[in-house]
Amino acid sequence: MIRAWFVCASLFLAASSLAQVPAAPAPEGAASAASAPAAPKAWSSMSPQQQQLLQSFQGKWDSLPPERQQALAKGSQRWLSMTPEQRAGAQQRFTQWRAMPPEQRQLLRQRWQQFKSLPPEQQQRVRESFNRFKQMPPERRQELRKQWRQMSPEQRRRVVQQHSPRPAPPRRNPR
């Protein structure tokens, strides 16, 4: 159960960190989520507020790959739609992200991809588990973290296996 909470927490934190950073620079040449190639985004097609947010890109906008232009435009639009509290939270997560060592960022990216590859029902279970963990008193969360750190890798694997959903046995056709 402890492992499940920690897996959920790390996946959810990765999701939050990655999904809520509004205009964070994407790796050069990053592929778009859409399968069709992105069309270039004209600088003049963005609102004045978006242009102000992205002013550091103005001089090189036309040389950016269309996917990058689209991502920046979408991120700026999302940023502008946030409340001041949401912006503060996003800025804090972005600062935390930038302070992480590259290895830790890569691990979180991998966990995010693992999470995104789960079926929607399993993603929902992860979110619910993480929310239950977040609602625990801080002392209880600390206690669970301490227990987790004290476990051996084998003990951790057993905990995960005990709390992983079991696939239903195959049905047999009665004949």
Query: What is the per-residue pLDDT across 128-142, written as a single tens digit (0 to 9) for each?
Result: 989 999 999 999 999
Domain-embedded: residue 54: yes
Instruction: Provide the CA 104 distance to its chain's centre, in angstroms.
Output: 13
**pLDDT tens-digit readout, 80-115:** 999 999 999 999 999 999 999 999 999 999 999 999
Asked, for residue 2, whether it belongs to a domain, the answer is no
pLDDT at 160: 79
Q: What is the mean pLDDT of residues 47-60?
A: 95
CA nearest to 19, candidates 92, 93, 84, 69:
93
Question: What mean pLDDT value characterizes the chain?
Answer: 80
**Position 7 pLDDT exceeds 90:** no
Mean pLDDT, rounded, for 75-79: 95
- Where in the sequence is the domain holding 52, given as residue range(s)? 45-81
Q: Is 57 a domain residue?
A: yes
**DSSP labels, 90-111:** HHHHHHHHHHS-HHHHHHHHHH
Q: What span, in angstroms and rounded, lies between the C-alpha atoms of 34 and 44?
A: 23
Confidence of residue 53 (pLDDT cuts 50, 70, 90): very high
Is 109 inside a domain boundary?
no
Q: Which residue has the tokens 């964070």?
A: 24
Domains in the chain, number: 1
**147 against 37, higher pLDDT:** 147
Using CA atoms, how far residue 64 sits from 18, 27, 38, 40, 48, in Å, is 21, 12, 12, 9, 19
Residue 175: the pLDDT is 55
Q: Is 22 or 149 the better-scoring residue by pLDDT? A: 149
- Does residue 171 lie within any of the structural domains? no
What span, in angstroms and rounded, lies between the C-alpha atoms of 169 and 42?
54
Q: Is residue 120 one of the residues assigned to a domain?
A: no
Domain for residue 50, yes or no? yes
